[in-house]
Structure 1
Amino acid sequence: MEFSSSQKLCLHLISSAYQRCRLSEQICRLSVILTRSSSSSPSLRISISDTGIGSSLEEFQNLRVSFTNAADNWDGMLSIKTTSINDSEIHNYQINLKESGSSRITSLTSDSKNGAKFSGSEVCLSSFVNSDLLLAEIHSLLEKVLILNIPNVAIQLVSEDFDVPESRYEKVFLANTCKQLPISASSLELLKFGLGDYVLKHGNNLSIKCNSCFTSWEDLKVGVACCTENRLHTELVMEAVIVISNMSIQNTTCFREYGDKTEVLYFKDFSPCAMSQSSMKALKSIDWKRYGLHLGGIVELDGTALLEWENLPTDTHIDIVLHSYLKQYPMVIPTPRKMSQLERSIVKRAVKLSLDDLKANHSGDFLSSRALQIRNYAPDLAQSIAGLILSSSDLDFQRECFSLLGLQSQDVGTEIMENSIKEKIVSVIETNDKDPDKSKEIAPFLFEEDDHIHEPDVEFQESDFTYLDPDLDMF
């Protein structure tokens, strides 16, 4: 695994420490501390420590850093302290990333734990990177990590120049707390409420929900899905959450980093990462118009996928998070070609199912383009039907129509009748605006009492993922 700079290496080391905390059954602390003394040394000391399960040398053996960048001048040395709960000692190592083979690792004298039971790791390095830029990158990473909503990890970020008074910066990142969740909450539930809090706090830039833009969690429209794919003894899980929110355009004090574009937040094995080309192709291949959305295009900006929308209301914003991870441990990773095909298929499936969930919960808000066109005729059609009913000389026919419409008296006005008929027409349109492969429901009649609507004899259920043929291009 090669990194283009020591900054990127630091982000990877933080993600690895977060993983060790996540796998622990205990409450864990992860600390990232950046310190320097301007007068004595221009280098920045970076310490990444955690109280997770402890690390192993295998985590560091394949690390590579490109040293061609003149601005990234450092010696390539990592100092590592680590111990697991069952170890009697704290193991100390030095790794020289400028070397290769077994000579890059030096074992140092271990420290006794004197019978104490604890686990954890610390990785230190010194570099001449810009501390402000590195701090901003780490801050952005940790804001995104909070979306995973892992409850047992508290993260501390500290930056200080000992020679500059009042230069100390400190922030604690905790799992989002806008919605209280049970301990048994699934990974998908945690991700759902993690993204919701991310939206309510404007990208986790706020410590609490923005009361200027949102009154409660119920302001958000949410769709979720989880898919699995089993292939080559590997179980790949893909979780997708889509949140649609509305923020008044009159509120100029709050802003979104990418304006009306949607940043697709992508996690792989519980770490934020850039979205792959195969996953972006999957997003392009989705029939967004089926859900009343018009995708204008996808822009890639520094590894971030941004979706551009056409005809999206100015007060509406869409947030999407995707999380892909291999369920078993240790991980059996398929070849890049097969993994690319797996990701493309499972991303498309997960996003479509989350859109279906969103539509099922808010059907009137996510009609397809075709349904929206049909619905435009509802007022005229309702007016014509109401006119036929009211102009009829058959009083029994009129009474039956009034009864079916739920109207109590024939003395009601034309407007009330038209509105009642229009509501039934729109209801029929929404019921029929579904994926034909998913629903076998019999479409309701406009004038049919609920007791007369028959359910289908056989209920159709979608199967889970089918196996992919590596030689078959499904898209």
Structure 2
Amino acid sequence: MEISSVQNLCRYLISSAIQRCRKSDELCRLTILLKPFPQFRPPTVRISVSDTGVGINLEEYEALKFSSHPILASKWDGVISITTTSISDREVHNFSLNLKEVVPATRLTKLSSALKNGAKFSGTEASLSTAESLSDILADIRLYLQKIFIVKIPKVAVEFLVDNCSVPGLHSQNCVLAIDFSTLPSTATNIEHLKSGFEEYVLKHGNRLENICDSCFSNMSNVKVGAGMSSRSGSVPSKSQMVEAVVILSVVSEQILPSCCRPCGTRTEVLCFKDFAPCTLTQASLDALTSMKWKDYGLTLKSIADQDNAVLLEWESLQPNVHIDIVLHSYSRENISIIPRAGNKQTDRALIQKAMKLAFTELKEKNNGSLLSAHALKIQNYAPDLAKTMAGLILSSFDLDFQEECFSILGLQTQDVERSEVENCIKEKISSVVGLNDRKPQKSREPATFLFSDDCSVSEYLDEEYEEGEEMLCSFAM
């Protein structure tokens, strides 16, 4: 990995600390500490990323490459100080890594170690000093952590601290952000953590607000969630791969405040994670998005844009108050490593597409009438006219017993019933049946059931009450 900025390096240090925590079977703590030194010339910020996970694998850091960008060279000397120990080590090891060193053999320098005196613990701290602006580092790390909180990493607590030493003699630590991922039960699965974290993210307009927006999401039934997971087991455990996808369909108030408008508008922002850390969308993910059969969910993809390292999907004919959000997460079940894996694009694309299809299908099945296919939407367009015709037949009939039975099946009171009420009820019944039938795969669909089936079937009702069909037809007065 090439280090092109201090912010880029900080994200890498946080990501590698997460992987070490994931390898541990114990509860872990990840701490990011910023310590400014404004009295230095130029002012300097000490950045420290520490964790209580397993000891470091030095190969992960030796694989880093220093960018020759002049701005980075002027902000950072290229040196990372590393302190690490494993549970079985008798010492705490200290290293100095100079990424500007062109000779690989001399990049890493082993410093003096410290005895643990029989203590049993493990952990790593990586730190560096930079002339980068404290506000810039602070903003970038906060944004990065906000995305990490989406996956709600099990058994890992994260805290972000600033040591305020700008005033001599004052060394109080101001907690900027401290999160403990203990809101879900210990038995919760990874995808349950992802669903919970992503829903919180969406309800806060992508964490641009501190709290859930009540003006947009006053009715939580307007927020619909679907999740899907696919996996591939290789010949060796290290090749076992999981892909999770979560999709959220939200319907916000049409009279939203200007501050509630999202920067991406009605477009869908696709977030991508790898091994519980944010990453850029891969080519396999892009291929999976473009080859999805979106018409099965009533969607038509208009364009895909890459904007500020985010992928945005633009839809045709999507209502302005309807928003779709997607998150993708891939990770290995065993032999966790932050060293990049060379994947198979076709296999990765198939896994991602399967997870997305399962997520959209679950949302569709759990919420009747949502994400109807293009075919179902076409059929549903006839529902108002059909409901109007059927309501006219019922209300114009001279057979009071027939009318009463129809009202009973529709769940309406027989006294002072309005025509519009009958039409709306029938239209809802038709839409419900269309939605139920649309959930089934195209090949396995059967003829739609009766629209007004209740405790007793309509066929039984017709057999018992109207054995002579001609008598029923004659009872209608047009």
Q: TM-score range by the shorter chain?
A: 0.7 to 0.9
Q: Distance in 2 between matches of 1:168 and 1:202?
A: 30
- Structure 1 position 312, deviation (Å): 2.8
* Structure number with bigger Rg: 2
Look up the match of 2:21. 21
Q: Distance in 2 between matches of 1:155 and 1:345?
A: 33
Give the letter aligned to residue 134 of structure 1. Answer: I
Q: Which of 93, 96, 99 pairs up with 1:94?
A: 96
Deviations 1:43-97 (A, max 9, x none): 4322111122221222222121212334433332221101122222111111222
Worse-matched range after superposition: 270-279 or 74-83:
74-83
- Residue 260 in structure 1 maps to residue 266 in structure 2: yes
Look up the match of 1:342. 347
Look up the match of 2:45. 44
- Structure 1 position 246, deviation (Å): 3.3
Q: Distance in 2 between matches of 1:250 and 1:220?
A: 16
- Structure 1 position 16, deviation (Å): 0.8
| Runs of at least 5 residues in structure 1 that lack an aligned partner in the other structure | 455-475
Worse-matched range after superposition: 190-199 or 62-71:
62-71
Deviations 1:133-187 (A, max 9, x none): 222221111000001112533323234674479998641231467xx42110000
- Structure 1 position 320, deviation (Å): 1.4
Look up the match of 2:300. 294
What TM-score do you get using the length of structure 2 for normalisation? 0.83
Among the aligned pairs, what percent are the same residue? 47
Instruction: Answer yes or no: is the 8 Å Cα contact 2:158–2:180 preserved in 1.
Output: no
- Residue 309 in structure 1 maps to residue 315 in structure 2: yes
- Structure 1 position 27, deviation (Å): 3.3
Closer, same or farther: CA 173–18 of 1 in aligned 2, 3 Å: farther
- Residue 444 in structure 1 maps to residue 449 in structure 2: yes
- Structure 1 position 432, deviation (Å): 2.1
Closer, same or farther: CA 244–22 of 1 in aligned 2, 3 Å: same
Q: Which of 66, 78, 81 pairs up with 1:79?
A: 81
Q: Which of 127, 144, 152 pairs up with 1:141?
A: 144
- Residue 35 in structure 1 maps to residue 35 in structure 2: yes
Q: Distance in 1 between matches of 2:383 and 2:241?
A: 45
Deviations 1:294-318 (A, max 9, x none): 3321111232111223333333322
- Structure 1 position 403, deviation (Å): 5.7
- Higher helix proportion: 2
Instruction: Answer yes or no: is the 8 Å Cα contact 2:19–2:337 preserved in 1.
Output: no
Deviations 1:315-371 (A, max 9, x none): 3322211101122215699974x5221221122221121111111111213222332
Q: Distance in 1 between matches of 2:379 and 2:104?
A: 68
Q: Which of 273, 277, 281 pairs up with 2:279?
A: 273
Q: Distance in 1 between matches of 2:341 and 2:164?
A: 45
| Runs of at least 5 residues in structure 2 that lack an aligned partner in the other structure | 460-478
- Structure 1 position 431, deviation (Å): 1.9
- Structure 1 position 373, deviation (Å): 2.8
Look up the match of 1:431. 436
Instruction: Answer yes or no: is the 8 Å Cα contact 1:35–1:44 preserved in 2.
Output: yes
Instruction: Answer yes or no: is the 8 Å Cα contact 2:268–2:324 preserved in 1.
Output: yes
What does residue range 187-202 of structure 1 map to in structure 2 within 5 Å?
187-202=190-205
Give the letter aligned to residue 81 of structure 1. Answer: T
What does residue range 407-426 of structure 1 map to in structure 2 within 5 Å?
414-426=419-431
What do you get for the CA RMSD once the two structures are aligned? 3.2
Deviations 1:246-265 (A, max 9, x none): 33343234343433322211
Look up the match of 1:5. 5
Instruction: Answer yes or no: is the 8 Å Cα contact 2:6–2:72 preserved in 1.
Output: no
Deviations 1:194-253 (A, max 9, x none): 011112233334454334433475552111111112345422211111112233343234
- Residue 67 in structure 1 maps to residue 68 in structure 2: yes
Look up the match of 1:181. 184
Q: Distance in 1 between matches of 2:91 and 2:175?
A: 31
Give the letter aligned to residue 136 of structure 1. Answer: A
Q: Distance in 1 between matches of 2:301 and 2:63?
A: 40
Closer, same or farther: CA 364–154 of 1 in aligned 2, 3 Å: same
Look up the match of 2:57. 56
Q: Distance in 2 between matches of 1:453 and 1:272?
A: 55
Q: Distance in 2 between matches of 1:174 and 1:294?
A: 39
What does residue range 230-269 of structure 1 map to in structure 2 within 5 Å?
230-231=233-234, 233=236, 234-248=239-253, 249-269=255-275
Closer, same or farther: CA 448–70 of 1 in aligned 2, 3 Å: closer
Instruction: Answer yes or no: is the 8 Å Cα contact 1:142–1:173 preserved in 2.
Output: no
Give the letter aligned to residue 360 of structure 2. Answer: L
Equivalenced residue count is: 451
Q: Distance in 2 between matches of 1:164 and 1:363?
A: 61
Deviations 1:370-407 (A, max 9, x none): 32232222121122233344555677766765565456
Closer, same or farther: CA 108–432 of 1 in aligned 2, 3 Å: same
